[in-house]
Amino acid sequence: MTIKPIIITILFLTSGIFYYNITDAKSNLQTFQISQIVDGDTVRLTNGATLRLIGINTPERNMPYFQEAKSFLTTLIQNKSVQVQSFGIGKYGRTLAFIFLNDKNINTQILSAGLATLYCYENDPCLDELKQAEEFARLNQKALWKKSPDENCIKLIQLKTDEPEKLILQNKCDKQINITFKDDATHIYRETLNPKSTFTKKFSHIWNTNGDSLYISDDKGLLLFHRYQASTEYP
């Protein structure tokens, strides 16, 4: 499933919907039909191929918004003919791809709905448009980006990403807070922070030194978000 690259220009952004001018798209994209939605970022085609939507990461099973992300994608493309731009095979044997329907990039639609986070670094395609879609969702507190009322309780003291890795958090509030935190991949941890305390956890070979994200939440929403790359950090 080899597809020539295309040039994509963002025309405008309104209400979280991203529109594209796809240069010579019909001659560069291939059309397939979706047969199954596996989860929020993985689909199967009627020809048996499995596609992993590139540049995004949706919640894993048993995590908040897993079903919402899957249902969102199902509503958009289940049993529909879509256009696919492929970027080769990933490490799990799935084809990495952008999916388009009616000239709209489905990958960015999921991001702008707040049902996925960015999983894309400097060598990946179309990084800017993906970042803009995620930023829209984050600023508007959509789904995964809905803030917890206790967000001001948690302070990041240190995230040390070289060995030995270490995370230090401070609970500034006079109450116990149960947190779930994860990186960009599938490393998920659940901990309890005691009132007015400092929490330390050590890791080994978890955090990517070239770029990664830290998401901390409780059962009411997002407590803290921290993203870093080799020379850039996001608030």
- Regarding whether 179 and 84 lie in a shared domain, the answer is no
Residue type present at position 195: P
Who wins on pLDDT, 108 or 23? 108
Calpha distance 46→158 (Å, rounded):
47
- Regarding whether 25 and 90 lie in a shared domain, the answer is yes
Mean pLDDT over all residues of the chain? 87
What predicted TM-score, i.e. pTM, was given to this entire model? 0.85
Indicate the residue among 143, 172, 188 that finishes a domain: 143
Please give the pLDDT value at position 128. 87
Would residue 1 count as lying in a domain? no
Q: What is the pLDDT of residues 184-208, one digit of tens each?
A: 988 999 999 999 999 999 999 999 9
E strands, the chain, in order: 7-14, 17-23, 30-39, 42-45, 50-53, 55-57, 81-89, 95-101, 104-105, 117-119, 154-160, 165-171, 177-182, 188-193, 197-203, 211-218, 221-229, 233-234
- Regarding whether 136 and 62 lie in a shared domain, the answer is yes
- Regarding whether 158 and 134 lie in a shared domain, the answer is no
- Regarding whether 62 and 127 lie in a shared domain, the answer is yes
What domain count does the chain have? 2
Q: pLDDT grade, residue 19 (50/70/90)?
A: very low
Q: What is the pLDDT of residues 118-153, one digit of tens each?
A: 998 656 676 789 999 999 999 999 999 999 999 999
